[in-house]
């Protein structure tokens, strides 16, 4: 068979459009319409003057992170609600997706890491006081996971929507709180003080709960759903810590020990976050296993 077209071109070098493929979108919704790409792709507005090539990278890195954080919040809220309704299996499905989103967020740092200190120095003056520290969605994720800090709400006094969302989450049970309530309803001896506490306060280690988890880990075959959920939560926290550490590394290689644009101490401030934990008993119980 001769594969050459009449015009001398090899047909294998191009793909003909099929008859059924839509071409006219004057009255039909297109891909761009559905995704509102006109809005999305016009949201990158560099401020550097004269224009700096690398500012677009910086903007897109942070905008895409915010989109993934939006989905992360959506999934965490759903998982929390499902646990509240005793629907463990679909809650675990949500957490599985959360972990994939976390991996994507962490991997993104490798793109920003291509920005050298000299290149970032050309952009930094145009950021003014803006900083990732001011990401309301990041704080929503932390609140949903239990790292509550009422002082953070005041940072968003200028943004009624963000302030209201954080204040609401501050006064609601976290994902972990809902998991503990689920355990109590299933007959596990969760200390009562953990089931009726001030949700605005950061979660603190409870030795009585460590005892409960020690029993689960001693006989995982008898507590498989709970055992699996514990390990999913550990995965989630492990991923979060990897994100934090990768963030610290990228900041350190880009600005060294400089103060952050938002006024923090920069690397030292980020390093202290590595000591924070969402689910302390799930780490403490490991000391007991096999001991």
Residue list for the binding site for heme: 247
| Structure-token pair, residue 290 | 């096999």
Please state the φ and ψ torsions of residue 87, each to the nearest 5 degrees: -105, 80
Closest CA to 73 of 187, 168, 201: 168
Question: What is the residue-wise DSSP string for 57-124?
Answer: HHHHHHHHHHHHHHHHHHHHHHHHHHHHTT-HHHHHHHHHHHHHHHHHHHHHHHHHTTS-HHHHHHHG
Residue 22's CB is within 10 A of a number of other CB atoms, namely 8
Binding residue ranges? 58-62, 120, 124, 247, 261
Binding residue ranges for substrate? 58-62, 120, 124, 261
Measured distance CA(115)–CA(51) in Å, rounded = 16
């Amino acid at each position: 068979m001769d594969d050459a077209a009449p015009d001398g071109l090899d047909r294998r070098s191009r793909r003909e459009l099929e008859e059924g493929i839509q071409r006219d979108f004057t009255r039909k919704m297109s891909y761009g319409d559905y995704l509102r790409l006109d809005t999305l792709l016009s949201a990158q507005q560099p401020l550097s003057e004269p224009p700096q090539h690398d500012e677009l990278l910086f903007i897109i890195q942070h905008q895409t992170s915010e989109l993934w954080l939006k989905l992360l919040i959506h999934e965490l809220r759903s998982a929390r609600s499902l646990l509240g309704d005793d629907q463990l299996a679909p809650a675990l499905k949500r957490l599985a997706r959360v972990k994939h989103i976390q991996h994507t967020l962490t991997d993104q740092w490798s793109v920003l890491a291509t920005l050298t200190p000299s290149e970032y120095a050309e952009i930094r003056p145009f950021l003014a006081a803006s900083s990732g520290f001011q990401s309301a969605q990041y704080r929503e994720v932390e609140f949903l996971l239990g790292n509550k800090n009422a002082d953070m709400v005041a940072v968003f006094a200028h943004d009624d929507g963000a302030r209201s969302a954080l204040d609401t989450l501050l006064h609601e049970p976290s994902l972990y709180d809902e998991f503990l309530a689920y355990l109590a309803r299933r007959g596990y001896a969760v200390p009562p003080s953990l089931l009726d506490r001030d949700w605005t306060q950061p979660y603190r280690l409870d030795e009585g709960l460590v005892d409960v988890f020690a029993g689960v880990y001693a006989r995982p075959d008898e507590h498989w759903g709970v055992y699996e959920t514990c390990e999913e939560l550990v995965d989630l926290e492990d991923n979060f810590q990897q994100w934090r550490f990768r963030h610290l590394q990228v900041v350190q290689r880009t600005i060294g020990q400089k103060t952050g644009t938002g006024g923090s101490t920069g690397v030292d401030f980020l390093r202290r976050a590595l000591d924070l934990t969402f689910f302390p008993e799930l780490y403490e119980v490991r000391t007991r296993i096999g001991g």
